[in-house]
Structure 1
Amino acid sequence: MPVPPLSGVHRRPLLRDNVFDSLRNAIVDGTFEPGEKLRDTELEAWLGVSRTPIREAMLRLERAGLVIALPGKATIVAPCDLASTRSCQQVVAGLHELAARLAVPLLTEEHISAMAEANARFEQALQDVDVESALTADDDFHGVFVTVSGNPVLRELLEQTTPVLRRVERMRFGSFAARGSVAQHAEIIRLARLGDAEAAARECRENWLSLRFASAE
């Protein structure tokens, strides 16, 4: 199992969430590829932590659908399974629809401006084929609704389900297929400015359902 070049990168004791985040990000960004074996000893050397927080993180990653534990054998990075990805997409789309419905009545002009600025960064990142910046800008755009909704359970559920989609998003945001999201974001902003929570929520849901999986099939 190839690991990032820096060993013991986390010299100070990590919280469980930090270990989980590091492993999840390495899977999502392709550092650990689908089907790759994840060995405790190598992960310990990379993260600079004991086996216990790694095992706990693996359980969370398994629940999130990012790893598969083979009893008595190994833990491997889960493949980009089409059925699982579509299932997560439906849940994520519904959660963002709810976030928009809750948030729109509470939005200020500052929130609207933040969404517009994030969409401008998103468009520029797509033009530059800068996948990391596109993902960040897209998260910032949708994050306004999630934050303003005031529902912490929404955020928790999205943190569990979105990583499965993130691998597909990385492929999509590196192609021309994502350009339509810029216009969808603009329409969401327009509806939010009008205070039309139901229409904005529906458009937000459609935006997430527009994510295609041809590259993952």
Structure 2
Amino acid sequence: MPIPDTSLAGRVLLRDRAFTALRDAIVDGTLRPGEQLRESELERWIGVSRTPIREALMRLERSGLVVSKPGRSTRVSALDDRAVRDAQPVVAALHELAVRLATPALTPADIEAMRAGNAAFAAALERGDVTAALAADDALHQICVTAASNTVVTEVLDQYAPLLRRVERVRFSSAAGLGSVALHDRMIDACAAGDAATAAAFAHMTWMTLAGTGPAPEVSGGHGLVRAR
């Protein structure tokens, strides 16, 4: 029988560790736009060898978070309006699909966790804690992504959602972020009612109104009453 290559599995774990550390540092602003990423410094900081660092940087470049020039430097990318515009409808559509797939599978415990996540999200916004708001928002949406159990959705979101998270730091540091709380509430209510189509529509709207790049929503009491203005 073939012998599994355990060294490959270990390398993948190191690559993922490097990717996660760098992605999070870029999204939270620790690594700023234009900052040069030196492999030797990243090795010491993250505690992995150069190969997983290089693999992580290539993955980050595909995600639009870093820019590399052959034979020169690798730097954190600037916030690119076009890249955000390109990624936003894809991320919104995949979250819409995730919610549509997840709704029939959500348990009462999942719904309660989503409500708790939105409460934590709202509280973090009120006290101006952007990092906590992003973490709570991530946790809320991840419940549906996990319940959807679609590996392609998960992989594509892992690649492109961080690009939008950088924009969200701007949105969530302003009063505009409070609009997401109401959209989350309507999405969760629809999930609880088993209304997958309406829940999916609210999920899509949540991502398409990010940082004012989409129309501001008017949310009425009924599940179906959603208008853009």
The TM-score, its normalising length taken from structure 1, stands at: 0.89
2:16 aligned with 1:28, yes or no?
A: no
**1:206 aligned partner:** 205
- The alignment partner of 1:36 has SS state of coil
What is the SS of the residue equivalent to 1:15?
Answer: helix
Give SS of 1:37's match: coil
Name the CA distance, whole Å, in 1 between partners of 2:212 and 2:80: 10
CA drift at 1:40: 1.5
Q: Secondary structure at the match of 2:210?
A: coil
SS state of the match for residue 212, structure 1? helix
Q: Could you tell me the TM-score, scaled by structure 2's length?
A: 0.84
Residue equivalent to 1:107: 106
Instruction: Report the more deviating stretch, 150-159 or 93-102.
Output: 150-159
How many angstroms apart in 2 are the aligned matches of 1:137 and 1:50? 32
| Separation of aligned partners in 2, 1:15 and 1:38 | 18
Deviations 1:68-95 (A, max 9, x none): 1111211111110001012111111000
Question: What does residue 124 of structure 1 align with?
Answer: 123
1:45-68 CA-partner distances (Å, limit 9, x unpaired): 222332211111111111111111
Question: 1:152-177 deviations in whole A, cap 9, x for unaligned?
Answer: 22111111011101111111111111
Q: Deviations over 1:95-128 (max 9, x none)?
A: 0000011011122211111111111111100001
Q: Which amino acid aligns with 2:152?
A: V
- The within-5 A match list for 1:38-187 is 38-187=37-186
Partners of 2:195 and 2:44 lie apart in 1 by 52
What's the RMSD between the two structures over aligned residues? Answer: 1.5
The sequence identity of aligned pairs, in percent, is 53
Post-superposition offset of 1:43: 1.5
Q: Is the 8 A contact 2:170 2:211 kept in 1?
A: no
3-state DSSP of counterpart to 2:59 = helix
**Does structure 2 retain, via aligned residues, the 8 Å contact 1:168–1:213?**
no
Structure 2's unaligned 5+ residue stretches are 1-10, 214-229
**2:14 and 2:48 in contact (8 A); partners too:** no
**Alignment length (residue pairs):** 202
Q: Which has the higher contact order (CA 8 A, sep 6+)?
A: 1
Distance 1:183 1:102 in 2: 22
The letter for the 2-side match of 1:187 is: R
- What CA distance in whole angstroms lies between the structure 2 residues aligned with 1:67 and 1:154? 23
Using the alignment, how far apart are the partners of 1:42 and 1:106 within structure 2? 45
Separation in 2, partners of 1:88, 1:150: 22
| Distance (Å, rounded) in 1 between the aligned partners of 2:146 and 2:48 | 32
Q: CA deviation at 1:16?
A: 1.2
Conservation of the 8 A alpha-carbon contact between 1:69 and 1:76? yes
